[in-house]
Amino acid sequence: MRMVVVLVVALSASSAAHAQQTQTLSIFRSDLDESGGVGVSYERMFAPRWSVQAAVAVEHHHSYNYVVEDNGAITLVPRERLKTMPIDLTVRYHWLNETRWKPYLGLGAHYVAAPDADPRFRYRNHLEAAINGGTLFMLTHDLGLMLDGRIYLGSHESYDQSPRTSIGLSWRF
């Protein structure tokens, strides 16, 4: 019984200290070039320094002009505009400080379904690990500017290059 009381007091004290702003909703622009896209993310703090984030984006890319056939010959195929919807799930560590800068570093999974393109490109769905890092610059108590970067580990398709950058607005609530 004594152990239960100590555990309840410890959990309530840590959650009371961490009760403010445990969730963040962000909208962002990924890859700030012509092939980028827009997305939304939701982050939930589950401990004072740890959070889990889920993000989904809609991105536009271009295919390469050529395809390597089975016999080794290169066939020119017109460039196609591709639309993908990458999904990221990341666990993040946050450095706590009293400044307006809120840096983080994370590790997670990145999934992209193959786009509907000429089958000769042989695009496939892929799932890979990702390292994520960035910072949130708090403009106000609740609103911040997000600067984020991701590096994908493993093999990935030509349209889904690493590293990826994004910038956006975040609302903490």
Q: Which single residue is written with the structure tokens 């800068």?
A: 101
- pLDDT average, residue stretch 92-98: 96
String of DSSP letters for 57-96: EEEEEE--SEEE-TTS-EEE----EEEE--EEEEEEEE--
Q: How far apart are CA 83 and CA 160, in angstroms?
A: 11
Beta bridge partners of 43: 24, 53
pLDDT classification of 94: cutoffs 50, 70, 90: very high
Q: Which single residue is written with the structure tokens 């009760």?
A: 19
User: Which domains, ranges and CATH numbers included, belong to the chain?
Assistant: 21-172 (2.40.160.20)
User: Could you tell me the pTM of the whole model?
Assistant: 0.79
Q: Average pLDDT, whole number, for the chain? A: 83
